[in-house]
Structure 1
Amino acid sequence: MIDQWDPSLPTTNFPDSALLQRIAEQSKVLRLQGKDALTLTAEELQQGASWIQQSEEIWLNTIPTLSDATLIDLAFFYTQAEMTLSGFQAKAKNPAIWIFRYLRQMKRLPDKAIIRELKALTDNRFIPYGSVL
């Protein structure tokens, strides 16, 4: 599938905190009920997918403004979305990596059981901390 540019969509470089909050709220829906139960609009999903192309440095402008619980939910959403939603394939650029690196740097990592649960959702070997090199 080839994405097309839609001029009506915001072109901000920084992930929007309000939309990230909505995406995080949909994390459990995606995991437990599947993609058809999501209440995000097509435009919101497209915007969320476009942020995958942003660098870790860009993400670090927004990540510190969100609660740890929201960050964990976002990591779960982007990890699950990579496996189930078109346009979210990210591999080494998955925002979950930027989130977990930030939480590790701040010494606020979740329990190991949560990390194992996250890793069980994906075949992306870069989750949760990225490349070892």
Structure 2
Amino acid sequence: MSVGAWDPTQSDNSAAFDIDPAILEKFIALGSAEPINNLNTQISAEDKAQQAPLMRQPKDTWIATAESLTNDQIVHLVRFFTLAEMQISGWEAGAESPVIGLVKALRLRKAPPSKELLMWIKEHSDNRFLPNGAL
């Protein structure tokens, strides 16, 4: 995990942030790669700065966003955001991680994440809240 610079406007922006479907498609594609390469080099500095508020969106926002996605697309986003939090400075999310809302969306669909995916999340993250959130 890396430490980034604090941006005082970042927390203010996350509440009014609109999730761009085009950027989600890009992140889905990155999350579907096998293996997923270093995300830090695959995302532009501009996208890193502009999309950082994605990491702080409420769980309900991610559940609603997932309604328009397939189960596979949600899994790819889970993989992407798990690694993004570890690899991209300023994208640390803790208990607010998008992974938590996306995993919840899968469970609400009666399509819970596979044991393999849950183990993969644990192996690739040091966020103690993943994949289920705070107790």
TM-score scaled by structure 1?
0.81
Give runs of ≥4 in structure 1 deviating > 4 Å: 28-31
Q: Structure 1 residues 84 and 129, CA, compared in 2 at 3 Å: closer, same or farther?
A: same
Q: Is the 8 A contact 1:24 1:70 kept in 2?
A: yes
Cα shift at 1:70: 1.3
Task: Give the superposition deviation at 1:36.
Answer: 5.0
Deviates more, 1:71-80 or 1:88-97: 71-80
Change in CA separation of 1:29 and 1:2 when aligned onto 2, cut-off 3 Å: farther
- In the alignment, which residue of structure 1 is the partner of 2:80? 77
| Equivalent position SS for 1:104 | helix
* Correspondent of 1:118 among 118, 121, 134: 121
Compute the TM-score of the two structures, normalised by the length of structure 2.
0.80
- Give per-residue Cα distances to partners, 1:112-132, cap 9 Å, x unaligned: 112111211011111111112
Q: Counterpart in 2 of 1:96?
A: 99
* Aligned match for 1:61, one of 60, 64, 72: 64
The counterpart of 1:23, out of the listed 22, 27, 37, is 27
Q: Does 1:2 align with 2:6?
A: yes
Aligned to 1:52: 55
Equivalenced residue count is 128
Identity, in percent, stands at 28
Alignment partners' CA distance in 1, 2:30 and 2:23: 11
Contact 1:76 1:118 in 2 (8 A): yes
Q: Which residue of 2 aligns with 1:34?
A: 38
Report the AA paired with residue 64 of structure 1: E
Taking a change above 3 Å as real, the CA distance of residues 105 and 28 of structure 1, as seen in their structure-2 partners, is closer
Which of structures 1 and 2 has the larger relative contact order (alpha carbons within 8 angstroms, sep 6+)? 2
Gapped regions of structure 2 (runs ≥ 5): none
Opposite residue 96 of structure 1, the aligned amino acid is: V
Root-mean-square deviation (CA), in Å?
2.6
* Aligned mates of 2:52, 2:76 — CA distance in 1: 16
